[in-house]
Structure 1
């Protein structure tokens, strides 16, 4: 995969997803056909966040009726066993295997940490390839750190030792939240600028997608983070929104919009005292902000402070009658 100056795309994928490996091969063919340099950055997606550590044999997991029902969503007309045979055939046509097929229901959390840590080292694609091969061809347990060390030792020898500490934890967590905020719902999903292509599409479809370029209007990183936090709040994930807002609150805590978004998230997550303090500061500094008055009134109501709540509710309605 090219990693020189040129077009940049992101691939949001989970290394325990067979379509991610198939999609990687198809992307490589599409890039070769395009004939232009493409910088690929890998981003985390979790198809099975509840996968255990240590892993459990996949055969046993597939016998669970709940797992079977979940897998049927991917191929409603096939049993999980039939679908695995179908995917194996597709993988073979892409030059993957034999052998082919995962043997473990394994958490991919540490694998995603390695992928994130490999980015600044410039070996991300090689690490992704090694992890996909370990899971689907070698059929080993990639939730095991010794297995991970063996899988990526040739391409990222310093990586596995970093897993003993917190390295990569926050980065992966924030990227997962960013992906959710941006509407990533499928592994793999290719993102170029403001455009996205979901699924392991045929190479010609990917090539046409890449030919569209990655141009988009530059947006400051702080603005992007704010938008992602706002998106998470709209998706009813106030705790995720607050996590993304953390750096903005630390650096721009006096910004009205940042403070208001945080207050909304504190209110939505029932952190009512924090919401009250923030909103009282907001209405003191911006006494004509009708929404701040109304939200403060609702917060005070939930805290049982009804006389104070009524005052702010009335002020909010007086400033903006549509809140009545």
Structure 2
């Protein structure tokens, strides 16, 4: 069975339209629909924000599977678009969940359940390039916007299957994508389980060091890079990043030897440029 992930905000009118078009699509095979969170306005405070609605939907998927989640998506969207209900109100969400067959949501929301899952999924969406509500993802293929039913059917029919990778590898790749998107704190959040279980792995530690550096946690970056350098003194990138970390920490006398050695070990122009700037600061 193929899975289509719908990354959407439940108060997005285009997501509502996209849902109707998805229901009309003729796939010709069994397709599992799973809803993933997207925030039109991440800074919106409660009750205007939809974070709690996404928490309830994540819990519906966890406890009852895609069918229950889809039932609840329909009720939430209908309550918002047709009845004008305040779906930022936890009591309203709990009642809608109960009507869909999911009990105990008032207590679950108060206890913070679903919070970590939604945060992680939002970061995953950012890592895979989701920037629009709705975005439909099947395997390695995606399409944005409320597409016509036939376009959605073609997406499912011709989608490139997702590669089966261990969760650790997927998390590492997503964290790398977040670093490239200049979200080092998001990268560190996704890396939490990796640091807890594989904190001695050099690739995990190096990515963490890059994220520490990017988020100006220079003390942690320095400690991590120094420990890596003890194990791999010939790694010119580790030496370069340690030099840059010391430079940003206003420790130029300590930074210069590392930057000079990195520039001698590699012809990377970034190394030479960093060395020139550091030497100009000293002179």
Q: TM-score, normalised by structure 2?
A: 0.91
Runs of 4+ that moved beyond 4 A? none
The gaps in structure 2 that reach 5 residues or longer are 273-283
| Structure 2 equivalent of residue 253 of structure 1 | 199
| Structure 1 equivalent of residue 33 of structure 2 | 40
| Structure 2 equivalent of residue 291 of structure 1 | 237
| Structure 2 equivalent of residue 108 of structure 1 | 50
Distance 2:264 2:160 in 1: 47
Superposed, which structure 2 residues align to 1:301-320 within 5 Å? 301-320=247-266
Q: Deviation of residue 214 (structure 1)?
A: 5.3
| Structure 2 equivalent of residue 220 of structure 1 | 166
Change (3 A) 1:213 1:301: closer
Distance 2:258 2:44 in 1: 47
Q: Deviation of residue 161 (structure 1)?
A: 2.3
Q: CA RMSD in A?
A: 1.2
SS in 1 for 2:191: helix
8 Å contact kept, 1:263–1:274: yes
- Larger mean CA deviation between 307-316 and 274-283 belongs to 307-316
8 Å contact kept, 1:8–1:214: no
How many residues align? The count is 266
SS in 1 for 2:112: coil
Q: Deviation of residue 152 (structure 1)?
A: 2.0
8 Å contact kept, 1:7–1:213: no
Q: Deviation of residue 16 (structure 1)?
A: 0.6
Q: Deviation of residue 217 (structure 1)?
A: 2.3
SS in 2 for 1:43: strand
- CA deviations on 1:149-190 (whole Å, 9 max, x unpaired) are 222212112233200111000100010011011110111111
| Structure 2 equivalent of residue 75 of structure 1 | none
| Structure 1 equivalent of residue 44 of structure 2 | 51
Distance 2:254 2:113 in 1: 46
Distance 2:174 2:70 in 1: 26
Q: Does 1:119 align with 2:65?
A: no
8 Å contact kept, 2:8–2:15: yes
More helix by share: 2
Q: Does 1:9 align with 2:16?
A: no
The gaps in structure 1 that reach 5 residues or longer are 1-5, 55-105
